[in-house]
């Protein structure tokens, strides 16, 4: 059973508004995750309190920072079992969310979870490098979010092509981000972006994690040559 008090105390401490329906959906989402985890390897199995902190509260950091406008179009690149996208959508059903992952079993899980939670969103089974070349997705989003997918320079190439000029790419990072910033700045420059900087994204009671969000503004169009073909961004990071 989910410790709803831990969730609601955490959200309150972060200054993120929620209603009863959101709390119920978090609990239902955890139950669906458990059901799937019992038969397939979907995410690392965590104890309930850690799952709330590591997945739910960590995922909603952009809401504490006021980074997502009402009705914003958001793509979650490499969403896995739905993080950060699902907690963001549960708290902000107004968001127009697209969940993207290269693994079909994760997309199938998300389709089932969305239907059972009564939430609507788009899901996309594709590599980011391929999806960002599709007209329906290229430079169509107000924000691209991504957690635990790649190093910062690689992430710039996997996320910025989805973002419209004036939008933002948001990457979840730890204290190691400082070592990645120079490369991220160079990569962003090539891709029509400008690194705005790093903002602290604390999870209540977990100060030792030192989580941050790396924010990159989309300041111009991404040249047609990017992203490069699937696999190349990882093999040969731009910077």
Binding site for ligand SAM (CB under 6 A): 78-80, 83, 100-103, 106, 127-129, 147-149, 158
- Residue 8 CA, chain-centre distance (Å), reads 21
Q: Residue 58 Cβ, how far from ligand SAM at the closest point, in Å? A: 8
Q: Residue 57 Cβ, how far from ligand SAM at the closest point, in Å? A: 13
Q: Residue 20 Cβ, how far from ligand SAM at the closest point, in Å? A: 26
For ligand SAM, the closer of residues 31 and 148 by Cβ is: 148
Q: Between the CA of residue 204 and those of 169, 174, 175, what are the distances in Å? A: 24, 15, 17
For ligand SAM, the closer of residues 55 and 73 by Cβ is: 55
Q: Residue 191 Cβ, how far from ligand SAM at the closest point, in Å? A: 15
Q: Give the C-alpha separation, 185 to 194, whole Å.
A: 7
- Residue 87 CA, chain-centre distance (Å), reads 10
Q: Where in 52-139 does DSSP place strands (E)?
A: 73-77, 96-101, 122-125
For ligand SAM, the closer of residues 19 and 41 by Cβ is: 41
Phi-psi region of 122 (alpha: psi -120 to 50; beta: other; left: phi over 0): beta
For ligand SAM, the closer of residues 133 and 219 by Cβ is: 133
């Amino acid at each position: 059973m989910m410790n709803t008090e831990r969730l609601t105390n955490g959200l309150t401490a972060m200054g993120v508004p929620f209603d009863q329906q959101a709390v119920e959906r978090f609990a239902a989402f955890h139950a669906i995750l458990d059901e799937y985890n019992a038969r397939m390897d979907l995410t690392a199995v965590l104890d309930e309190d850690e799952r709330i902190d590591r997945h739910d509260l960590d995922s909603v950091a952009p809401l504490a920072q006021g980074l997502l406008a009402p009705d914003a179009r958001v793509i979650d690149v490499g969403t896995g079992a739905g993080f950060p996208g699902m907690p963001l959508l549960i708290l902000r059903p107004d968001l127009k969310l697209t969940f993207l992952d290269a693994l079909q079993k994760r997309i199938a899980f998300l389709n089932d979870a969305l239907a059972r939670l009564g939430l609507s969103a788009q899901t996309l089974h594709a590599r980011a490098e391929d999806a960002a070349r599709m007209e329906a997705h290229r430079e169509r989003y107000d924000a691209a979010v991504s957690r635990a997918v790649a190093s910062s320079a690689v992430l710039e190439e996997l996320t910025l092509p989805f973002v419209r000029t004036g939008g933002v790419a948001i990457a979840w990072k730890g204290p190691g981000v400082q070592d990645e910033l120079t490369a991220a700045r160079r990569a962003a420059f090539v891709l029509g972006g400008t690194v705005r900087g790093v903002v602290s994204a604390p999870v209540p009671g977990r100060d030792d994690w030192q989580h941050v969000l790396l924010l990159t503004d989309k300041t111009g169009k991404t040249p047609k040559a990017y992203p490069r073909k699937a696999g190349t961004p990882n093999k040969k990071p731009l910077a």
